[in-house]
Structure 1
Amino acid sequence: MTNQHPLSAIPACAWQRPIGLGWDKPYTVRYPSNLDDGPWHGMPLGGFGAGCIGRSSRGDFNLWHIDGGEHVFQSISACQFSVFEQVGTATPQAYALCTEPPTDGSLSEWQWYPQKSGTYHALYPRSWFVYSGVFQAELTCQQFSPIWAHNYQEASYPIAVFEWTAHNPTDQPITLSIMLTWQNMVGWFTNANKSPDIRVRDDGSPVYEYQPRLSDSQGNFNQWVVDRHRVGCLLDRAGRDPNANPQEGEGQWAIASLAPPYTSEVFYHTRWNSVGDGADVWQTFAQDGSLADCSDETPAAAGEQVGAAIAIRFTLAPGESRQIPFVLAWDFPVTEFAAGVEYYRRYTDFFGRSGQNAWSMARTALKHYEDWNAKIQAWQQSILERADLPDWFKMALFNELYDLTDGGALWSAASDRDPIGQFAVLECIDYRWYESLDVRLYGSFGLLMLWPGLEKSVVRAFARAIPATDDRTRVIGYYYTIGAESPTALRKIANATPHDLGAPNEHVWEKTNYTSYQDCNLWKDLPSDFVLQVYRDYLLTGANDIQFLEECWPSVVAALAYLKTFDLDGDGIPENSGAPDQTFDDWRLQGISAYCGALWIAALEAAIAIGQILIHQHTDTSNAEIEAAIATYQTWLVQARPLYQAKLWNGQYYRLDSESGSDVVMADQLCGQFYARLLSLPDVVPLDCARSALNTVYEACFLKFFEGKFGAANGVKPDGSPENPQATHPLEVWTGINFGLAAFLLQMERKAEAFQLTEAVVQQIYTHGLQFRTPEAITANGTFRASHYLRAMAIWAIYGVLTEFNTES
């Protein structure tokens, strides 16, 4: 029991929206083949790599990433909270707390909550529903999963906590009943097609079909559990051998709460028709807040659906408050990639691998949820209390971390080689491959600062992959999109830095370079990206993990040597080929490019710094070999730095490249300079040139591009106009690139401009229905591309520069 007002715990900076309020003109997808689930996205629930569930601001549970790397967006109406209220002796009322009734005719007996009667708030990993204007009681539901910085255990749990706070502000007693209903979905989330064909989509991307077993519930059953002072429903499936290892999709759900004396009255129903009219639970609930206390464990027949329900009823005296917890847990321990390629999830290190531990997890949550909530608040508080940060920035800083939960995240169980397991997040749902190295150059800053152990595990995976080969061949999708005949390309050449760590239909971490839009063996930024991330992850996490540098050093040497083979004229800088061969993979660069050339110079400096550390630490690596590598890199630098300046500096900014003749101002032209300063390496370019180029970028790409409303375009002419009005990447505003550019502005002591740019992008995301599905790109036409995108977590680079990258944040 508590007297705390339910609104007092909600940070003022949390994102807010009236419950059920739609969007007049939300952003729509740029290309029909790209994913557009619409704007009804809310903060996801669930631990990293455990599978996640999304609940939107209208109250429905609609995002189901239960199968690792796979996306299902569909409102399951039977999964719902409902509230009964009776004030004194007045006529009672009851509502299911979603503003959107089912469209298929099911649950027609239920009464659905009216729109705009309250407010939804979100500040990842917490969100709140504040209900007002309908009930006499003041009701708030806080929902969260146990995620906080530097936590490598609870952050993996497949658990959602719903903490209800009810307050009676009237002079009469109020009887309330809170009901949680849940459909038994055991067996639904696995691909019915274990070996799907890969095809090339119309945008040139490789795709395969995911066929979840939705509504396949034969054999599903629910049982009522009383466990000392904890009660709930366990949702299971009959017919599984309890001694056999579970398959993907096999496991349990659980919904639970506290029994008397911690709550007043508990009711339950373990077998109701979740696709019928709903009267079997609603008739008694709407009458007096009770359920039939039906305990029926009969398995579902073919074509039948079964739901479970638990209700907690209590009476509040005038002025009284009470908190009631509900917990949702799920235990699906196996992620299967290609048929037979299986990994156990990280949470199984703490709860076992049987797939029969959902109740154990629910029990753990009911015991520890208050402590978890306190740890989340303590983690966030140091940022929330900063008066120098605007509320919109604090909001976006935390909310952009949502992708670590819902970005198809994988987190495997621990092994001797990987003591905290292996981790990976998709580039996005449209481009369904993991940890694209060029994207995470900016997009990994949140992981680096908050869970550096996971960050290093990703970079180690790239280090292991660099020497590997994959002799399979495939066609290149880019040529398909321009109507040209595609050359065939090897999947992965030895010592080429892979673009990604693979896709969920093959073998993530082992079969890399899944994307085939371009031949990534030819990319000119990936080796530099790798080297810079190795040194960054060492330097900004205490500069003491020598073993990490030792593990990565052979691949650093191999990656740079491979990239140097593209320096065809031997002038010290690898040339771009004229094909899109870097992260802007629709944008042709020719000769020495500002983007790739600056990254190359910074990477050479980083490699020299790594080598010197290894020599100083007297590691097992041969000093003579390291010294030879350093000497080589210094020779290349002597050539490269003056050549870069001579070829690309035009007196105002750095040219796009040395051979195309373009006068485009590229927004991210000095990413390498940003990284050099970030890592305390020698500058890539003279500082006065960097300042001039940065000013030109800010003026042309941001202020002159639709008056700064949308953010900075990737590349426009100095007057803000397009070089080619039909271009794709140059005229898009990339959210993560903009946040990286803002970090560079901040680094160069231009804080006002950095925040002006960042705010423009944040406003576009959070006022136009893009929240919790932040895209790679938006356009001035109100369209977007590639939602749930990894690079947007680059907003943490801004905070990192502000705090000098204190990884204890």
Structure 2
Amino acid sequence: MTNSTVFPQIPPCAWSRPLGQGWPTHYVVRYASNLDDGPWHGVPLGGLGAGCIGRSPRGDFNLWHLDGGEHVFQTFAACQFSVFEQTAAGARQAYALCTEAPQSELSAWQWYPQEAAPKATQVDSPTPTTQPTGAYHALYPRSWFTYENVLQAQLTCEQFSPIWAGNYQEASYPVALFEWTAHNPTDQPLTLSILLSWQNMVGWFTNANPSPQVQQRDDGSPFYDYVPRIGQSTGNFNRSVQRADSVGCLMAGAGSTQAEAALPAEGDGQWAIATLPHPEREVFVHSRWNPAADGSDLWSTFEQSGALAACQDETAAAEGEQIGCAIAVRFTLPPGETCQIPFVLVWDLPVTAFAAGISAYRRYTDFWGQSGQNAWAIAQSALQHYKTWQQQIIDWQQPILEQANLPNWFKMALLNELYDLASGGTLWTAATAADPVGQFAVLECFDYRWYESLDVRLYGGFGVLMLWPELEKAIVRAFARAIPTADETPRIVGYYYTLGVESPLAKRKVKGATPHDLGAPNEHPFVATNYTSYQDCNQWKDLSSDFVLQVYRAFKLSGASDTDFLVDCWPAIAETLKYLKQFDTDGDGLPENGGAPDQTFDDWQLKGVSAYCGGLWLAALEAAIAIGEHLSTHHRDAGNLPILLAQYRRWLTQGRSVYHQKLWNGQHYRLDSESGSEVVMADQLCGQFFARLLGLPDIVSAEFIPPTLEAIYTACFVRFNQYAAKQATPQNQKFAGAQIGNFSAARLGIKIGAANGVLPDGSPEDPDGTHQLEVWTGINFGLAAFLAQMGMTDRALEITEAIVRQIYEQGLQFRTPEAITTVGTFRACHYLRPMAIWGVYGILSGCFMPQAESD
């Protein structure tokens, strides 16, 4: 106990929402087959690659990304915090702290109200006004629940996992921490009890079909059915644990004892809930109750006194039976006093499986072993160190929060967009001699379920690079290893499937081609690459350039001193640049796009030399030259380096001249040289942005950059939004091939961001187009970074804010999509590319100042 109020200081920039408050309007999916769980998403809990869980602003635990690369969105009501309060006069109340009661089970429980009793009305205000019962706040990896107007006590729950920049150990732990702060503002003592109940889930999160058939979705993307073993609890049991430094419950599976523990399969392991004992508090442990019934076996004693019936029952669950456990901490707060109580939730599920017979141990097993029998040891360590971890997070974030030039909405989105590093189906494997920090990868998204799409992470990789540079290098090395491999398995191309025409067959992976991705959770990530088959990615004209730029970016922006990293990647650089050059069919120094969508905008046909791919090629040549010169200076053997450098310089000189000559139209760079399109492409000078970012020579003369950005800003942002507002009205509901959803007419004039490509007046070249008319969140952040780089800070923030407000005001938080439309639809949530906001931050904060190379 303490005599001073020690409520956690919630940063003012944290995202906030009243508890249980729904969304009168929110985005819905553009394609019915795409993932859409609705807007009830909160900060994920759990270390990077350890699996994570999510708790929504209603208070329910509803997101379960515990099987690597797989998605489960379902509320298990038994997994819950509850509170009991008794006043000195004997008045009692108890609530499970979720504002929505389950449909059937736990009917004996009382659920927390979404609204409190109305305030007394004034004479001139005859309508009673209800009061909020609290709020949810989020600033990843921390989040807070505050409770008010229901209890006499003031309660706050802060929850977090030990994730901070530069941390390659604790950031991998399968841990969720909850620090409760209780304050008594009254003049009488209050007795409180905080309950954490949990359901034994051991064995649930693994695919019952280990070799699912890959199918073709209606949008042309490959997918497979995931069938988790939810509810299969036969043989699971719970054990009460009471130690001098920790008290709680251990949840285990059939045959899971220390004496007979064997190396686990996927889904095997343990869960644990625990708290710290304290001489002034009572801790109750209940090891077995039925979460599938009305819940009275747990609730009846808790609602009467805040206690739990003494239960140390280790009986295993029978077939079809569910079991839960619970811990409660009861204490009395004198008037004016405050106390803090920690709880910890741990899951030790050490194995993640891929195709049948292929699996990997998670990164945290480097520190806690591979047995799956260490949940309690992890919980003990978390209770011992959580205050230090909490401070580490604060110390990392505080310099960002103190930057007066950054608005609060920007700081909020910057940190919250890191959610995808935990929630994006993340894979982080145990370390090896070849990979001393393990292998790391995040899905493109759950609709496109393959790892680290290279074209996407050209934008989305900024977060990992700036905060965990060794993980960034691990990802880039994985691509370097994949470039010389080949897989001649023939596949159909999904794009043609969507057109209703017969598809040509394409080889899965051609030697020398940079793969699009590092594989999928149902195969063998890092080994079987190029999982996507929507397009023939061997024909893409941006991937080789993307790879070279990401090699140099990882080197340059992490200190410019890791020459070994460049040595590792150089053979792949040489091979893939040679591969891409073969598409320069007319020998002018620039590879041509082939007419089929063959770059990151993979529904958008480019023909001949394109501004997007051509610019990336020129920047990649400059990066390759810089890498080669560095290797020469440091006397590192890189094969026929002088010959290659001479070749790259020749290609660069020739290509730079042709690029401007073929594409400049007097206001901006044309989409391409052969289609005749007049579209203004938002990302046309992406290569120029990366060249200047990395301290390389401009790929176009500096005088042409400002007018190009002016043309992009005017057409793709200002005029596009004006055009969309006129078109998207109740009288004219069809726009971009979609119907106006649940957005009110009053919202339609709000700017939502820049379209990928429109005519100079903001209108569409093709009203039924897809990618051109979509607003891509990550591309917008990339454009904003470019504007900021060129000193156009106000415009950079204007575009960034437009995207941020769509995400965080219209129910897309913690599931940020690739694309949104002016008619209230989205595509591809939980997307990797939006972490490009860290590129905006790098420019605005000065983090990307050119660094001198280290000897």
1:235 maps onto 2:251 in alignment? yes
| Superposed displacement of residue 805, structure 1 | 2.7
Verify: 1:128 aligned to 2:174, yes or no.
Answer: no
Q: Deviations over 1:351-374 (max 9, x none)?
A: 000000000110000000000000
Query: Structure 1, residues 485-521: CA drift from partner, whole Å, max 9, x if none?
Result: 1001100000000000000000001100000000000
Between the aligned partners of 1:553 and 1:678, the Cα distance in structure 2 is 21
**Deviations 1:749-795 (CA, angstroms, capped at 9, x unpaired):** 00000001100000000000000000000000000000000000000
Q: 2:428 aligns with which of 411, 421, 445?
A: 411
Q: CA deviation at 1:90?
A: 3.2
Alignment of 1:431-446 (within 5 A): 431-446=448-463
Counterpart CA distance in 1 for 2:510 and 2:377 is: 47
- Give the structure 2 partner of residue 671 of structure 1: 686
Give the deviation of 1:475 after TM superposition. 0.4
Q: 1:107 maps to what in 2?
A: 106
Residue number in structure 2 paired with 1:542: 559
TM-superposed CA distance for 1:89, in Å, is 1.9
CA-based RMSD of the aligned residues comes to 1.1
The alignment's TM-score, normalised by the length of structure 1, stands at 0.98
Deviation per CA, 1:17-48: give whole Å up to 9, x if none: 00000001110000001000000000000000
CA distance in 1, matches of 2:705, 2:8: 46
2:705 alignment partner in structure 1: 690
What is the alpha-carbon distance in structure 2 between the residues aligned to residue 554 and residue 114 of structure 1? 62
What is aligned with 2:619?
602
CA contact (8 A) 2:18 2:57 kept: yes
**Match of residue 335 from structure 2:** 318
**Could you say which residue in structure 1 is the equivalent of 2:21?**
21
- Once the two structures are superposed, what CA deviation does each residue of 1:137-169 show, in whole Å capped at 9, x if it has no partner? 000000000000000000000000000000000
User: Is 2:606 the partner of 1:589?
Assistant: yes
CA shift, 1:3, in A, is 5.0
Matched, 1:153 2:169: yes
Matches within 5 A, 1:369-768: 369-622=386-639, 625-707=640-722, 709-768=751-810
Contact 1:69–1:504 (CA<8 Å) still a contact in 2? yes
2:264 aligns with 246
Stretches of structure 2 lacking an aligned partner (at least 5 in a row):
115-131, 723-749, 851-855
Contact map agreement 1:449 1:807 (CA 8 A) in 2: no
Equivalent-residue separation in structure 1 for 2:347 and 2:3 (angstroms): 32
- The question of whether the paired residues in 2 share the 8 Å contact of 1:589 and 1:656 is answered with yes
8 Å CA contact retained: 1:645, 1:685? yes
Which residue identity lines up with residue 108 of structure 1 in the other structure?
S
User: 1:705-739 deviations in whole A, cap 9, x for unaligned?
Assistant: 22461000000011111111100000000000000
Matches within 5 A, 1:160-239: 160-239=176-255
* Equivalent residue number for residue 846 of structure 2: 804
Q: Distance in 2 between matches of 1:137 and 1:783?
A: 42
> Partners of 2:577 and 2:526 in 1: how far apart?
21
Q: Matches of 1:43 and 1:2 in 2, distance apart?
A: 30
Residue 48 (structure 2) aligns with: 48
Identity between Structure 1 and Structure 2 (%): 67
Match of 1:346 among 340, 363, 371: 363
CA contact (8 A) 2:255 2:261 kept: no
AA of the residue aligned to 1:452: P
**Which string of whole-angstrom CA distances, capped at 9 and with x for unpartnered residues, describes residues 360-396 of structure 1?**
1100000000000000000000011111110000000
State the partner residue of 2:288. 271
Report deviation, 1:620.
2.7
Cα shift at 1:806 = 5.9
Q: Matches of 2:256 and 2:186 in 1, distance apart?
A: 52
Q: CA deviation at 1:91?
A: 1.8
CA deviation profile, 1:175-218 (whole Å, cap 9, x unmatched): 00000000000000000001100011110000011000000000
CA contact (8 A) 1:181 1:308 kept: yes
Q: Are 1:2 and 1:323, in contact at CA under 8 Å, matched by a contact in 2?
A: no
How far did residue 4 of structure 1 move?
5.5
Matches of 1:2 and 1:197, distance apart in 2: 60
Aligned-pair distance for 1:243? 4.0
Name the CA distance, whole Å, in 2 between partners of 1:782 and 1:617: 54
Q: Secondary structure at the match of 2:772?
A: helix
Counterpart position of 1:794: 836
Instruction: Deviation per CA, 1:219-265: give whole Å up to 9, x if none.
Output: 0110100121310000001224734210000000000001132x510
- In structure 2, distance between residues paired with 1:222 and 1:2: 35
Q: Secondary structure at the match of 1:9?
A: coil
**Aligned-partner Cα distance in 2 for 1:770–1:132:** 26
Give, in whole Å, the separation in 2 of the partners of 1:109 and 1:318: 32
Q: Is the 2:693–2:848 contact (alpha carbons within 8 Å) kept by the matching residues of 1?
A: no
CA distance in structure 1 between the partners assigned to 2:4 and 2:394 by the alignment: 16
Match of 1:601, SS? helix
Find the counterpart in structure 1 of residue 278 from structure 2: 260
Q: How many Å separate the matches in 2 of 1:806 and 1:691? A: 20
> Is the partner of 1:705 in helix, strand or coil?
helix
Q: Structure 2-normalised TM-score?
A: 0.93
CA distance in 2, matches of 1:783, 1:90: 52
- Distance in 1, Cα, partners of 2:402 & 2:185: 30
CA distance in 2, matches of 1:268, 1:8: 27
1:746 is paired with a residue whose SS is helix
Runs of at least 4 residues off by over 6 Å: none
Query: What is the SS of the residue equivalent to 1:737?
Result: helix
Which AA in structure 2 matches 1:781? V
Report the secondary structure of 1:681's partner residue.
Answer: coil
- Distance across 2 between alignment mates of 1:371 and 1:329: 18
Contact persistence 1:448–1:807 (CA under 8 A): no
- Offset of 1:621 from its aligned partner? 2.3
- Write the distance in 1 (CA, Å) between the matches of 2:367 and 2:340: 28
Instruction: Report if the CA contact (8 A) 1:450-1:807 is conserved.
Output: no
Report whether the alignment pairs 1:785 with 2:823. no
In structure 1, the residue matched to 2:741 is none
5+ residue gaps, structure 1: none
- Equivalent AA in structure 1 for residue 646 of structure 2: A
1:437 to partner: Cα distance? 0.2
2:6·2:338 contact (CA, 8 Å) conserved in 1? no
